[in-house]
Amino acid sequence: MPLPPEALAEIARLRATPRPTLRAVAEGMEAHLYRPIPVLDHGFVRVIDYMGDDGAIVQAARVSYGAGTRAARDDAGLVRYLMRHAHSTPFEMCEVKLHVKLPVFVARQWIRHRTANVNEYSARYSVLDREFYLPAPEHLAAQSAANAQGRGETLAPEEAARVLGWLKEDAARAYDHYQAMLANDGQQGLARELARINLPMNVYTQWYWKTDLHNLLHFLRLRADAHAQYEIRVYAEAIAGVVRDWVPATWAAFADYRLGGVTLSAQGVEVLRRRLAGETVTEETSGLSRGEWREFVAFWG
Amino acid sequence: MPLPPEALAEIARLRATPRPTLRAVAEGMEAHLYRPIPVLDHGFVRVIDYMGDDGAIVQAARVSYGAGTRAARDDAGLVRYLMRHAHSTPFEMCEVKLHVKLPVFVARQWIRHRTANVNEYSARYSVLDREFYLPAPEHLAAQSAANAQGRGETLAPEEAARVLGWLKEDAARAYDHYQAMLANDGQQGLARELARINLPMNVYTQWYWKTDLHNLLHFLRLRADAHAQYEIRVYAEAIAGVVRDWVPATWAAFADYRLGGVTLSAQGVEVLRRRLAGETVTEETSGLSRGEWREFVAFWG
Amino acid sequence: MPLPPEALAEIARLRATPRPTLRAVAEGMEAHLYRPIPVLDHGFVRVIDYMGDDGAIVQAARVSYGAGTRAARDDAGLVRYLMRHAHSTPFEMCEVKLHVKLPVFVARQWIRHRTANVNEYSARYSVLDREFYLPAPEHLAAQSAANAQGRGETLAPEEAARVLGWLKEDAARAYDHYQAMLANDGQQGLARELARINLPMNVYTQWYWKTDLHNLLHFLRLRADAHAQYEIRVYAEAIAGVVRDWVPATWAAFADYRLGGVTLSAQGVEVLRRRLAGETVTEETSGLSRGEWREFVAFWG
Amino acid sequence: MPLPPEALAEIARLRATPRPTLRAVAEGMEAHLYRPIPVLDHGFVRVIDYMGDDGAIVQAARVSYGAGTRAARDDAGLVRYLMRHAHSTPFEMCEVKLHVKLPVFVARQWIRHRTANVNEYSARYSVLDREFYLPAPEHLAAQSAANAQGRGETLAPEEAARVLGWLKEDAARAYDHYQAMLANDGQQGLARELARINLPMNVYTQWYWKTDLHNLLHFLRLRADAHAQYEIRVYAEAIAGVVRDWVPATWAAFADYRLGGVTLSAQGVEVLRRRLAGETVTEETSGLSRGEWREFVAFWG
């Protein structure tokens, strides 16, 4: 993911000129601003701007005149309380804007999160770069037998090589034809909005994406999850690192109550209660379906 | 767009069994239900369900016990009033659910309309069909010289044939490799979520899309517009025909106040006022920028 | 909550004229259509329209041509799977429209659910009725000592009578003055948009409210909860009964996975694991805060 | 609107401690931060935080690495282009957070703008202050004869005095009873969530309100309009002043294309064309309804 020199120069320029502000400042985010965090083979996530910090959540929850409480310890306690009781609106009071470079098939999953603002690079207006996502061999995996929408074992080297060869060749040929269709020396040159339809879904695109912290945490919960496709999960993990640096108290509460927590059904509660009372519960006597029992035992033993 | 026989049978079955309901019924929509309206070479739009009619808009605007007024003429008058004064909430009281088959690059434009509910066919879970959008020769146009994101003249036959050849060959080869990567006879078989990244953006996908009438009209205003890409415009036009049959009074008001109307800037108002007073206004004396003047003269002469 | 005679006549008229439709029909909802379900002393909930049923959820999840599977049993299984794994978009494919009469202070809590369509009776345009919510004596409760935003014991009869007296008198006087300010015999008559500001927040208003099933279930989860204020909870409970009749499979899954379920934090999981292993865990050794421990023990013993 | 001394001290403290940031800084907003702008008799608007400036809009529209273009003049030109062609997403890239104190009846209109984040002072949790909106005599106006939801002439002094007397007395008595119901010396004390229902809708509440610039401009267009109720219009006007200082290029474009512009129906366009061609058009030959003709002539003469 080497950025073009003029992009690097622009980032250096922006980072060289701090200006005074009276707003809430999160030091952890200032360190991230504008710098690309590499993701996949050509992608990145860059923080472009942010609003608020842990104190801003507390301030909004209290509809107060000041900025959080004086004691950071009290702020963290209130943040935990808000997270525990699913008070979502105070977390909406923080906002972040990211510049993301990502393959189109990842963008198609990402955009399903509707409560966000998006400006995407327009392939009607501009020409796309010759950059395609090619999985590393260790990420080329077979269809999972257990999970209809997941991956299983890594492909054997020979099969992986064959797959990778096709992905490379097809992308290269599609891009060659894309350029040839656009060219207007000796021909009219096809409209960009049509030529691009020949490109495969692993071509890279870019967008500015802005959302609030509540919706970002929801995004992370779904996309940093083990069931998410690997290629979007790595973006979620990169963003998770940013959130940890931005709002440490919120991140800690999120890790305890959401990522590390678990939701039990009424039947699951009943099984645990019977176990705590010393009973041995089997799949047959559990009241759970086969799939639920499998998930239950995988977690609780 | 020949549907598979079992789909046609299912549609015939659903259309053969009317059931009584006490809800508002729009006869124009009953005629559409389940039937595919062909769009592009393999796509379609089908109405799956709807809620409300012109009367429901009036009923909600009045927060009334009954269903619209007794006189359809009064309803139409109120609908026009609501449309003229941009009262959007009564139009949100009607809802429609569509099943759409469309190329991925069209889906990517469509999904930017966020106030809608979507369930898309999952290429992580299922295998995509061998169906690609190939433009008819008359739609293969050169890049517009005037408009950075539009089309100009139709391509000369030879260039069109060359373009079409590449689109066909690249799609066919990409799909062959997609199938070969997925196959698990004699190999492990690549996970579906990875194999699909080799497919070009003119492959067809499908989704259920549900939205309210206010947001649907906004969608139509942007996507049935001459500046929209042809391939999404034809979907918008198919849906426009459905809306006309569904809520005729609303459609008439929409056609008068939105589609057939025009928005003037403060400067544009001033120019018209001077003209009405008999003055000859030139680009130089208009106060409009070059681009604005061009658009203004194109419309007003 | 006696409806005005013309409203009753309109409801009778609407219920007397079934019409054929090809759409999905939910018998449980047809029985509800238009009929007011009384809530509080003057309020109600009425179903005005609905879209979809349990089968529609399955149909959308599968992006299928038909309406659900043939076997209702398979539909229920898929609905449970979707609910368990928090697949929210298929539930968005059902929609309901309600006519609600409710006190203004309840409306102010309700409107915080943003993903809904609303048309409210306009007190700028029309005159409000002389109807105020007056709590039944058994609902006049003291401030809770344990919960800063809840109720404790029922008030002693004398105090309850004093409170009720004030509520009645103040509402009556405010409404008398409202009418007197509006009157234009012998005076100009204050604008309605100003006169209404004299009315207390227990005055009744009305609205049409439309939302999808996913967001409705989220509303019910928060508002049918024991921590919700009693006066909105009774509306949620009335709507819960409607949902049970509308989409029985969805309701059953919701009851099992959401209403009857519980969410554990990472620390809570750890405490349960230690208990299951035979350890006696105390507040001190639990790693939970005082508030968390109290909630934990209240649930798990 | 004298703020409590501790609030003033907090504001002074926050304004005394600038910190360096690498983010976009809008000097016009730095001057506003935390300071209350008085609105009505006890209300205010305070800027708590903001994200972005005119350059951020351009930067997002271009999905660029840098911050806007080098020449402010080019930025302004692009901003005008985006506004003219209703490209809304780049304007969503700026965000603002306000602390607002406002009467409940204004809050009820305001909250209808759903695309915003809100945290309101909780009257279940806390006790409301004894502050009520009392219109100045010049704002006590009669019901408009022409407009069913508007005001006409100012009330005659005697009638105004009578109205004001009632508003004052009823608010004072309601608040006295509110306090008496809450008191727990010698009685249990009614729950706060119930006691508050006795308060009239001109009591003041407070909230944190956060939205993006696109939605804020939409809010201003509707609420700074002559048809909006005076009491919300003054809030919109206060915020309009803030926007002008924050994003001057955007404000100028908004003033030209939205506030100062006008929308014509298809029939209105036709009438203007006939007039420009020298024809004298009358109401009868215009094709406009009576209401439309009245509005048309009021604007165009």
**B250-292 pLDDT, tens digit each:** 999 999 999 999 999 999 999 999 999 999 999 999 999 988 8
pTM of structure: 0.96
The SS3 of residue A1 is: coil
Query: Do A33 and A98 meet the contact criterion of CB atoms below 8 Å apart?
Result: no
A192 to chain B, minimum CA–CA distance in Å?
6
Whether A152 and A84 share a structural domain: no
Q: With 80 as the cut, is the pLDDT of residue B218 above it? A: yes
pLDDT tens digit sequence for A68-84: 555 666 889 999 999 99
Q: Tell me which chain B residues have a C-beta less than 8 angstroms from the C-beta of A114.
A: 114-115
- DSSP string across B243-275: HHHH-HHHHHHHIIIIIS-EEE-HHHHHHHHHH
Q: How many CB atoms lie within 10 A of CB C40?
A: 24
Q: Over chain C, what is the mean pLDDT?
A: 94
Query: Do A254 and A80 meet the contact criterion of CB atoms below 8 Å apart?
Result: no
Sequence-distant (≥ 6) Cβ neighbours of residue A27 within 8 angstroms? none
- pLDDT given for residue B146 in this prediction: 83
Whether C101 and C247 share a structural domain: yes
Comparing alpha-carbon positions, the chain C residue that sits nearest to D190 is C142
Q: What is the rounded distance in angstroms from the CA atom of residue D203 to the CA atom of residue D103? A: 5
Are A261 and C257 within 8 A, CB to CB? no
The SS3 of residue B92 is: helix
pLDDT tens digit sequence for A23-58: 999 999 999 999 999 999 999 999 999 999 999 999
Q: What is the rounded distance in angstroms from the CA atom of residue C247 to the CA atom of residue C94? A: 9
pLDDT band for position C73 (cuts 50, 70, 90): low
- pLDDT given for residue D1 in this prediction: 56
Are B189 and A143 within 8 A, CB to CB? yes
Q: Tell me which chain C residues have a C-beta less than 8 angstroms from the C-beta of A279.
A: none
**What end-to-end distance do the CA atoms of chain D give, in Å?**
43
Neighbours of chain D (3+ CB pairs under 8 A): A, B, C
Phi, psi (rounded to 5 degrees) for B23: -75, 170
Are C80 and A289 within 8 A, CB to CB? yes
Are C49 and B11 within 8 A, CB to CB? no
Q: What is the CATH number of the domain that holds C128?
A: 3.30.1360.170
Count of the separate structural domains present in chain D: 3
In a domain, D138, yes or no: no
Whether D112 and D226 share a structural domain: yes
Comparing alpha-carbon positions, the chain A residue that sits nearest to D46 is A65
Q: What is the rounded distance in angstroms from the CA atom of residue A264 to the CA atom of residue D195? A: 38
Q: Tell me which chain C residues have a C-beta less than 8 angstroms from the C-beta of A63.
A: none
Q: What is the rounded distance in angstroms from the CA atom of residue B11 to the CA atom of residue C10? A: 35
C228 to chain B, minimum CA–CA distance in Å?
27
Q: Tell me which chain B residues have a C-beta less than 8 angstroms from the C-beta of D80.
A: 289
Are C199 and D201 within 8 A, CB to CB? yes
pLDDT tens digit sequence for A113-122: 999 999 999 9
pLDDT tens digit sequence for C111-122: 999 999 999 999
Comparing alpha-carbon positions, the chain D residue that sits nearest to B301 is D273
- pLDDT given for residue C68 in this prediction: 55
Whether A32 and A129 share a structural domain: yes
Comparing alpha-carbon positions, the chain B residue that sits nearest to A165 is B177
Token pair in block for residue C136: 């039944």
Q: What is the rounded distance in angstroms from the CA atom of residue D34 to the CA atom of residue D8? A: 10
Neighbour-count burial of A242, counting CB atoms closer than 10 A to its CB (0-12 exposed, 13-18 middle, 19+ buried): buried
Cα angle C95-C101-C107, degrees, rounded to a multiple of 5: 80
**Structural domain boundaries enclosing D18:** 5-133+202-259
Neighbours of chain B (3+ CB pairs under 8 A): A, C, D
Specify the residue for token string 């963290």.
A76
Are D265 and B257 within 8 A, CB to CB? yes
In a domain, C189, yes or no: no
In a domain, C65, yes or no: yes
Q: What is the rounded distance in angstroms from the CA atom of residue D213 to the CA atom of residue D51? A: 10
Are D276 and B77 within 8 A, CB to CB? no
Are D260 and B269 within 8 A, CB to CB? yes
pLDDT band for position B167 (cuts 50, 70, 90): very high
D221 to chain B, minimum CA–CA distance in Å?
11
Please list the alpha-helical segments (H only) found in chain C.
5-15, 27-30, 54-61, 72-84, 104-110, 157-182, 192-195, 213-223, 230-246, 248-254, 266-276, 283-286, 290-300
The SS3 of residue A76 is: helix
What's the whole-number mean pLDDT along residues B194-206?
Answer: 98
Cα angle A74-A76-A81, degrees, rounded to a multiple of 5: 95
Q: Tell me which chain D residues have a C-beta less than 8 angstroms from the C-beta of C192.
A: 143, 149
In a domain, B197, yes or no: no
Among A13, A21, A99, beta carbon nearest to D25: A21
Comparing alpha-carbon positions, the chain A residue that sits nearest to D57 is A119
Are B187 and A125 within 8 A, CB to CB? no
D99 to chain C, minimum CA–CA distance in Å?
17
**What end-to-end distance do the CA atoms of chain A give, in Å?**
43
Whether A24 and A118 share a structural domain: yes
D151 to chain C, minimum CA–CA distance in Å?
6
Whether C216 and C288 share a structural domain: no
- Enumerate the β-bridge partners of residue C36: C46
Inter-chain Cβ pairs, chain B and chain C, closer than 8 A = 138
In a domain, D168, yes or no: yes
Among D15, D65, D97, beta carbon nearest to A10: D65
Q: Tell me which chain A residues have a C-beta less than 8 angstroms from the C-beta of C61.
A: none
CA dihedral A55→A60→A61→A66, nearest 10 degrees, is 60
A230 to chain B, minimum CA–CA distance in Å?
10
- pLDDT given for residue B73 in this prediction: 66
Neighbours of chain C (3+ CB pairs under 8 A): A, B, D
Q: Tell me which chain A residues have a C-beta less than 8 angstroms from the C-beta of D90.
A: 119
Among C89, C267, C301, beta carbon nearest to A256: C267
pLDDT tens digit sequence for C163-195: 999 999 999 999 999 999 999 889 999 999 999
Whether C287 and C242 share a structural domain: no
Whether D192 and D206 share a structural domain: no
Whether A147 and A227 share a structural domain: no
Of A282-286, D144-148, D185-189, the poorest mean pLDDT is in: D144-148
Whether A221 and A197 share a structural domain: no
Whether D149 and D48 share a structural domain: no
Q: Tell me which chain A residues have a C-beta less than 8 angstroms from the C-beta of D27.
A: none
In a domain, B149, yes or no: no
Query: Do A26 and A251 meet the contact criterion of CB atoms below 8 Å apart?
Result: no
The pairing of strands C151-154 and C141-143 is antiparallel
pLDDT tens digit sequence for C244-268: 999 999 999 999 999 999 999 999 9
Are A210 and D33 within 8 A, CB to CB? no
The SS3 of residue D279 is: coil
Reported ipTM: the value is 0.95
In a domain, D251, yes or no: yes
Burial C160-175 (b: 16+ CB within 10 A, else e): bebbbebbeebbebbb
| Nearest partner of A139 among A242, A230, A260, judged by Cα | A230
A61 to chain D, minimum CA–CA distance in Å?
6
Task: Report the residue of D170, D175, D222, D232 to disrupt the C interface, i.e. the one with the largest count of C CBs within 10 Å.
Answer: D170
Say what percent of chain D tops pLDDT 70. 97
Comparing alpha-carbon positions, the chain A residue that sits nearest to C288 is A256
| Nearest partner of B59 among B84, B94, B31, judged by Cα | B94
Active site residues of B: 223
CA dihedral C102→C126→D288→B244, nearest 10 degrees, is 20
Rg (CA), chain B: 24
| Nearest partner of A127 among A188, A198, A186, A40, judged by Cα | A198
What's the whole-number mean pLDDT along residues C25-53?
Answer: 98
Query: Do A198 and A181 meet the contact criterion of CB atoms below 8 Å apart?
Result: yes
Inter-chain Cβ pairs, chain A and chain C, closer than 8 A = 70
Comparing alpha-carbon positions, the chain A residue that sits nearest to B231 is A194
Whether A107 and A25 share a structural domain: yes
C109 to chain B, minimum CA–CA distance in Å?
20
The SS3 of residue C66 is: coil
Phi, psi (rounded to 5 degrees) for A42: -135, 0
In a domain, B180, yes or no: no
Among C7, C22, C63, beta carbon nearest to B33: C22
- pLDDT given for residue D136 in this prediction: 97
- pLDDT given for residue A67 in this prediction: 65
Comparing alpha-carbon positions, the chain B residue that sits nearest to A175 is B170
Say what percent of chain D tops pLDDT 90. 88
- pLDDT given for residue D149 in this prediction: 84
Active site residues of A: 223
Sequence-distant (≥ 6) Cβ neighbours of residue D235 within 8 angstroms? D39, D43, D45, D100, D102, D106, D110, D223
- pLDDT given for residue D45 in this prediction: 98
